[in-house]
Amino acid sequence: MTFDERSNKDANPGYWQEMFGRYDTDKNKQLFLVCESGDAIVGFIIGEIRDWEFGSEPCGWVFALGVRPDIRLSGIATQLYGALCEFFKQAGVTTVRTMLARQDIDSLSFFRSQGMMAGPYVQLEKDI
């Protein structure tokens, strides 16, 4: 929540509490991983294996990744991402996906630096 407040005007504690509960129900498919420094949490990543969504073979999704702004670029996100990919691999999954805002260039750059490229799906939406 602290990270959310620092990087986003619309911090939403209820959302994060729900996420924490939701991503602790199936340990074979979900991972909520944090990085600690001393007594403080300085980063986190949330991922899940989803089966056959959108006609896709089972794949790992990165749903959220955050590192405390003042210690970014120190390799923490890379370690968290690596650990999550290892969890997916151990579960037999060979593809990892995420979805990002086009304007979020820092996050796009990070995931591209990890070797991720545009995949075979296109996200579409409409105001209703």
Contact between 105 and other proteins per CB under 8 A: yes
Rounded distance between C-alpha atoms, residue 60 and residue 87, angstroms: 9
Contact between 71 and other proteins per CB under 8 A: no
In the structure encoding, which two tokens stand for residue 107, read together? 């996050």
Contact between 109 and other proteins per CB under 8 A: yes
Q: Specify the residue, 118 or 128, whose C-beta has the smaller distance to other proteins.
A: 118
Q: Specify the residue, 8 or 113, whose C-beta has the smaller distance to other proteins.
A: 113
Rounded distance between C-alpha atoms, residue 62 and residue 28, angstroms: 15
**CA atoms within 13 Å, Cβ hemisphere of 13:** 1
Contact between 94 and other proteins per CB under 8 A: no
Helix H or strand E encompassing 107: helix 105-113
- Chain positions contacting other proteins, by CB under 8 A: 73, 102-103, 105, 108-109, 112-113, 115, 118
